[in-house]
């Protein structure tokens, strides 16, 4: 099935965090506090996707208050943390949202994301994903995780659903 046709059916966008919403590097202060950097264009892409009626969730293998804070900023209600088996987590999300897996896109970067990517209707790897993960993805972004890859996915989904031009035109209005 053509990639745009798969993207046209997506209702729920599910994102990994480290390596997707961030560049994958972990920063720690001397006191052991964790720091993460998030891309503002990714955030705006998520907001546009949500504005169009799309839903967003996060599945991550780590536990972080920073992730909860960022999710709240973006209006993301569902955050599943400390989930090692992301395939099972994705199935739970689809059931919670009463969707078939064909209506779910998953964006990942490393081996723990592979099960979810393969189950999703659209499995996406970011440009800097592990090579084996990229081989098994339906789509590979041109941009790196934490550097606009999520915005690229949001724009692709919105375009495939015929919503991108209308959303962007709003910003040209006086």
E strand intervals along 72-118: 78-80, 104-108
Which pLDDT does position 150 carry in this prediction?
A: 98
End-to-end alpha-carbon separation of the chain, Å?
Answer: 41
Whether the per-residue pLDDT at 174 is higher than 90: the answer is no
Pairing mode, if any, of strands 27-28 and 34-35? antiparallel
pLDDT tens-digit readout, 99-109: 999 999 999 99
Phi, psi (5° rounding) for residue 53?
Answer: 105, -5
Q: How confident is the model at residue 98 (pLDDT cuts 50, 70, 90)?
A: very high
Which pLDDT does position 1 carry in this prediction?
A: 59
pLDDT tens-digit readout, 24-74: 888 888 998 888 899 999 999 999 999 999 999 999 999 989 999 999 999
What span, in angstroms and rounded, lies between the C-alpha atoms of 17 and 86? 12
Q: What is the CA radius of gyration of the chain?
A: 15
What span, in angstroms and rounded, lies between the C-alpha atoms of 40 and 148? 8
CATH of domain 3-167: 3.40.50.1000
DSSP sequence for 34-46:
EE----HHHHHHH
Mean pLDDT, residues 112-140 taken together: 98
pLDDT, mean over the chain: 95
């Amino acid at each position: 099935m053509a990639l745009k046709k798969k993207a046209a059916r997506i209702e729920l966008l599910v994102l990994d965090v480290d390596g997707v919403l961030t560049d994958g590097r972990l920063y720690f202060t001397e006191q052991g506090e964790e720091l993460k950097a998030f891309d503002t264009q990714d955030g705006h892409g998520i907001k546009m996707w949500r504005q169009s009626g799309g839903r967003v969730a996060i599945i991550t293998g780590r536990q972080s208050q920073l992730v909860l804070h960022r999710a709240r900023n973006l209006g993301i209600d569902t955050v599943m943390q400390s989930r090692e088996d992301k395939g099972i987590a994705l199935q739970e999300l689809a059931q919670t949202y009463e969707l078939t897996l064909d209506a779910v896109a998953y964006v990942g970067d490393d081996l723990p994301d592979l099960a979810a990517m393969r189950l999703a209707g659209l499995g996406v790897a970011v440009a800097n994903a592990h090579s084996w993960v990229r081989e098994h993805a339906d789509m590979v972004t041109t941009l790196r995780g934490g550097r606009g890859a999520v915005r690229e996915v949001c724009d692709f989904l919105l375009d495939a659903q015929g919503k991108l031009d209308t959303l962007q035109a709003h910003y040209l209005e006086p």
